[in-house]
Amino acid sequence: MITHPQKVEDMRERATLLNDMEQDLLAGRTKTAQALGWYTNWLAQKIKKHDYSKDFPTENYSPQ
């Protein structure tokens, strides 16, 4: 598998979260930004370490 769709989905979510965090901080909503920060870091770890291939329904990709 070159790229797992779920990994791309997680990357997309993280990009959105970082954007939201920035907006929250600019608006002075530090508590919300902090909560988002925790989740963003958790997602970063998942993207880095999680074995996405295990989530993949392999039977769809076996020959014939």
Partner 1 sequence: MSAEQIIKRIQAERKTVNAELYNAEGLLRLQETMSAYEGEYRLIWSDELLKELENRPKESLHATGLSILDDVIGGFKEQQLITIGGHTAHGKTQFGLFLVEQYEKLNPLIIPLEQSNEELVMQRRDNGYSIPKFLSPRSLAARVTCDWIEERVVEGIAKHNTKLVLIDHLGYINDFGKEGEFKGENTAYRIGQVMKGLKNIAKKWNVIILLLVHISQHDEGKPPSLEAVKNSSDIIQESDMVILIWRKNTLKKKVRVYEDKMLVSIQKNRRTGKNGSIGLAFDKLTGRYYEENDWVKSMEESARQSVEAEDMFDSL
Q: How far is the CB of 46 from partner 1 (least distance, A)?
A: 13
26 vs 54, which CB is nearer to partner 1? 26
Whole-number minimum distance, CB 55 to partner 1, in Å? 15
Residues near partner 1, by CB under 8 A:
1-3, 5, 7-8, 11-12, 14-15, 18-19, 21-22, 25-26, 30, 63-64
Backbone phi, then psi, for 33, in 5-degree steps?
Answer: -60, -40
Residue closer to partner 1 (CB basis): 26 or 58: 26
Tell the residue number behind the tokens 């608006």, with chain if given.
Answer: 27
Using a 10 angstrom Cβ sphere, with 0-12 exposed, 13-18 middle and 19 or more buried, the burial of residue 44 is: middle
Supply 31's token pair.
Answer: 């508590």
